[in-house]
Amino acid sequence: MTRPTALITGASRGIGRAIAVRLATTYDLVIVAREQASLDETAAAARTMGAQVQSLPLDVSDSAAVATMLADVDADLLVNNAGVAVMRPFLEMTAEEWHRMVDVNINALYHVTRAVLPGMVKRGRGHVCTIGSIAGRNTFAGGTCYSGTKHFVMGFAESLMLEVRDAGVGVSVIMPGSVDTDLFPPGIDRTWMLEPDDVASAVAFAVSTPPHMLVHRLEVRPLSPKRPRTV
């Protein structure tokens, strides 16, 4: 039996890597990120779980490169995970930081989703799962751009869900709280945060429901910032 194919962005480390390894038990994978060596490490881990893996070095904010490299990818599942965060007061943020967050967290959603969604609609089945954030619902000082981009993700995901559900395509958004990854600068206590694998579990749940059922929004949090992880 052939396996379905999952396309996962930002799979070179952190949450995306955990999602790739988790889904490798049931999907063949196309994984993308800019850093080839780390991507290859993810691919090797996923292959040990039985998946066939294609790893593509790709900047998801480069619309022309995305269109070219994903042109022949027939994805049954797309996980829009790639993201960047610079949490800094608005008046201290550079234009480059602002544009990079908008390019990766927002514009890349267009480039990547546009590349594979027509195939899903044509086949009458598929799933687009985007990693949003609790910051897409809550605001915080230092979040003018990051929180703004994640609020965008909520509007994107819910609107897209309404547009393609009748074509048999599901759209989900996973909203994690703080996760122990390199998204945070060094020196921050991350012992109380979720592990990347916790978010991978949420994704695996959201994309494995029966065809008539859709988990559209899923918020996953550390139990308490005052309680370090025990596992």
Tell me which residues are annotated as active site: 146
* Buried residues in 30-57 as b, exposed as e (16+ CB within 10 A): bbbbeeeebbeebbebbeebebebebbe
What is the SS3 assignment for 222? coil
- φ, ψ of residue 43 to 5 degrees: the values are -60, -40
Q: Does 182 bind ligand NJP (CB under 6 A)?
A: yes
The nearer residue to ligand NJP, 37 or 213, going by C-beta atoms, is 37
| Position among 5, 81, 113, 172 found at the interface with ligand NJP (CB under 6 A) | 81
CB of 194 to ligand NJP, least distance (A): 7
| Position among 181, 198, 202, 206 found at the interface with ligand NJP (CB under 6 A) | 181
CB of 118 to ligand NJP, least distance (A): 21
- The label of the residue with tokens 């390199």 reads 182
Strand (E) or helix (H) holding 220 = strand 217-220
132 and 206 Cβ atoms separated by less than 8 Å: no
| Position among 24, 60, 116, 202 found at the interface with ligand NJP (CB under 6 A) | 60
| Position among 35, 50, 118, 141 found at the interface with ligand NJP (CB under 6 A) | 35
| Position among 41, 59, 158, 219 found at the interface with ligand NJP (CB under 6 A) | 59
CB of 137 to ligand NJP, least distance (A): 10
For residues 41 and 176, give the distance between their C-alpha atoms in angstroms, rounded to a whole number.
24
Angle CA 211–73–40, to nearest 5:
105
| Position among 7, 15, 117, 202 found at the interface with ligand NJP (CB under 6 A) | 15
Segment interacting with ligand NJP, rule: CB under 6 A, options 71-79, 117-125, 127-135, 158-166: 127-135
Encoding tokens for residue 221? 């949090």
- Closest alpha carbon to 108 in 69, 63, 139: 63
The nearer residue to ligand NJP, 36 or 167, going by C-beta atoms, is 36
HSE of 175, CA atoms in CB hemisphere, 13 A: 21
Q: Does 14 bind ligand NJP (CB under 6 A)?
A: yes
Binding site for ligand NJP (CB under 6 A): 9-16, 33-35, 38, 59-61, 81-85, 104, 131, 133-135, 176, 178-179, 181-183
